[in-house]
Structure 1
C-alpha cells in the first residue's frame, strides 16, 4: 500500500495491512507531532527517539512488527515536526521528556503504558518507569540503560559554557541559519552520525529533520528543523548514584537491547551497573545484538523478533 505525501513523506511503500497516520497533540507551547502506526482503536505503545533524531527513526522497524501492533512514535519538543520551546526557555531533555510523556498519557487517559525508546528515548522510558512505577507495564530500551551519567566535576565544569551557548542560539538571527543543498545536507548528517546510520537511513531521518528554506529568507536549499538549543541541552546529566536510585524504583517488565559495537560508552560499567540494579525489583531481559547505536534503524531485522517476542510474552 502507499500513502500520499504528508509532511515531507513522499508516498510510502508499506507492507500489506500496515498503516500509519500523522497526528498532532496539543501542548501549551504548540503541538507535539507523531506518527501513529497500526490500529487507532486501542492503546498504543509509545516510541521515543534519540537526541536530535525524530519519529522517523522507527520507520524501518515498526513495519516489521505484526500489523496489529499499535505504536505512537512522537517527535520530542524541538525535534522533527514538533513545536520548539518559546524563546527564553531551556531544554532539560531528560526531565522535560518525563513531563511530556505524562502530558500525553493524561491527554489520552491511558493507563499501564508500554514505552519503547532509543538512546535518549530509552533513558526517558527508564525515568518514567521509575517515576510512575504503578502506571507502566513494560519498557523497551535500545542501546541505553539510563540518562547520561557524568561525574559531578564534569557537570560543574560545563555549566557556564552550556548557559552561554543557550543564550547565543536563542538569539540566532535568520541570516546565520545554515542552509545547504540536499546532498550536502545528507553528507553533513552522515558525518555527524559517524557510521551509526547509513546514507539511505540518514535520508529517512531527514524526511522530518529538514525543510526547504522559506521564501522570505531569499536563500536556496534546506535547513535543519530541529531547535539549535538542543545542541546544548547537557545541563540535564546526573551522577551514577542518582541513576542507581532511579533504577531501584523500576518494577515493570524491562527489555534492554545493547548493540555491539553500538555506542562507545565512556563508562560501560555504569551501563551494566544500572542493569544489575534494575534486576533487584524488575523482570529484566538484557540482550546483546550485533549493530550500530542506531540498530533499530540500520539493522531492524536484528531486533524485530526480540521485540515481538517480548510484547507477546507479556
Structure 2
C-alpha cells in the first residue's frame, strides 16, 4: 500500500466490480475464482470493503469467491436518494439484491460489526439462502425499548428536517463538508483521525480503510485536501430500531452453522445482550481472540482470526 498522496482503492490481487441492483448500484471488491464457492463479506459502520483486505485473500485461496461490498452510502457505492433515511433493515434487502445480481442462490456470509448485525438479521429472516455465518465482533442491532419508540423517531425527524434545510439548494455530493466539515491536508492526517473513530484502530488499519473512504477535494476553499466520501446521513439517528425481544426472534430463526468471534478488547466484550443473543442461536460456536474491534484487520491479530474462520468453514 502506498504511503504517499495517492489512494489505492483496489488492493493487489482484488478486482473492483459494480453490482446493479433494482434501486441503486453497489461497488465491491472481489477476490478468487468467479466460479468459486460464493461468499459475501459485509463491513462495519463508516468502514468499507477494505476492512477485508487481510482476510479475503486467504478465503479465496481455499476456493471461495469473496465479494466484499461497500454498503450504500459508504465507499464507492451509491447513496440513498435525497430525502431518504438509512435503516438497518434496508441493508438486508441490499445484500440479498447483491447476491441476486451475482446469480447466487445460496452463499456464506461474513460480517464485521454493523455488517455482522446485517448478516445475522438476514440469516434469521431468510435462512434458506445462508450456507454458513461468520460474525466478527457484532451480533444483532442496536435497540430501542418499546416506550422510547416515539422519541427515537422524533430525534430522527429533527435531524432530517435540519439536514433538508441545510441542503435545500445543494447537491449533497457537492457539499464537501456535509460529513464532518473537515478537510485533511494529507491522507496520513485523515488516517490518524480515523484511528480515534468508533472502533478505534491502529494506524496501518486506519490507512487501509482510508483507501476507499476518502475523496480528493478539487474545489473547496481555502485549500485542497481530502474529505470523507461517506454520506453524512449515516450519522443521523435511525428512525426505527428493533427491540431486544425482536433481536432475539431473529437469532432464534438462524439455522446456518455459525461462528461468532469476539475481540478481548473489542466493543462487544462483556455486553450481556450479546451473551443472550448467542444463547438464542441454535448452532453457534464462540471464539474469544486477542484483539480489538477490528481484530480481523490489524496485523497483530488478523492471522489468528483468519485461521479460526478457515477452520470453521472447513468443518
Specify the alignment match of 2:203 in structure 1. 199
Q: Distance in 1 between matches of 2:96 and 2:121?
A: 12
SS at match of 2:234: helix
Alpha-carbon distance, 1:303 to partner: 0.7
Q: Distance in 2 between matches of 1:11 and 1:105?
A: 21
Q: 1:287 to 1:176 in 2, by over 3 A?
A: closer
1:175-211 superposed Cα distances (whole Å, 9 cap, x missing partner):
64422212332232112246x3101111100100001
Q: Distance in 1 between matches of 2:99 and 2:9?
A: 30
Is this contact kept in 1: 2:31–2:60, CA < 8 A? Answer: no
Q: Distance in 2 between matches of 1:110 and 1:10?
A: 25
Of 12, 20, 37, the residue aligned with 2:31 is 37
The TM-score, its normalising length taken from structure 2, stands at 0.87
1:240-262 superposed Cα distances (whole Å, 9 cap, x missing partner):
11011111111111111111121
Specify the alignment match of 2:83 in structure 1. 88
Q: 1:10 to 1:110 in 2, by over 3 A?
A: closer
Specify the alignment match of 2:192 in structure 1. 187
How many residue pairs match? The answer is 298
Of 161, 167, 189, the residue aligned with 1:167 is 161
Specify the alignment match of 1:289 in structure 2. 289
Is this contact kept in 2: 1:29–1:85, CA < 8 A? Answer: no
Alpha-carbon distance, 1:168 to partner: 2.9
Specify the alignment match of 1:301 in structure 2. 303
1:138-178 superposed Cα distances (whole Å, 9 cap, x missing partner):
11001112112343345443332222223333544536442
Q: Distance in 2 between matches of 1:233 and 1:157?
A: 11
Which blocks of at least 5 consecutive residues in structure 2 are unaligned? Answer: none
Q: Distance in 1 between matches of 2:177 and 2:8?
A: 28
Deviates more, 1:184-193 or 1:49-58: 184-193
Q: Does 1:136 align with 2:136?
A: no
Q: Distance in 2 between matches of 1:31 and 1:269?
A: 37
Is this contact kept in 1: 2:37–2:64, CA < 8 A? Answer: no
Alignment of 1:4-23 (within 5 A): 8-9=7-8, 12=11, 19-23=13-17
Q: Does 1:56 align with 2:58?
A: no
Q: Distance in 2 between matches of 1:10 and 1:206?
A: 8
SS at match of 2:141: coil
Q: Does 1:70 align with 2:55?
A: no
Q: Distance in 1 between matches of 2:271 and 2:205?
A: 27
Alpha-carbon distance, 1:229 to partner: 0.1
Which blocks of at least 5 consecutive residues in structure 1 are unaligned? Answer: none
The TM-score, its normalising length taken from structure 1, stands at 0.87
Q: 1:102 to 1:190 in 2, by over 3 A?
A: same
Of 193, 196, 215, the residue aligned with 1:211 is 215
Is this contact kept in 2: 1:209–1:224, CA < 8 A? Answer: yes
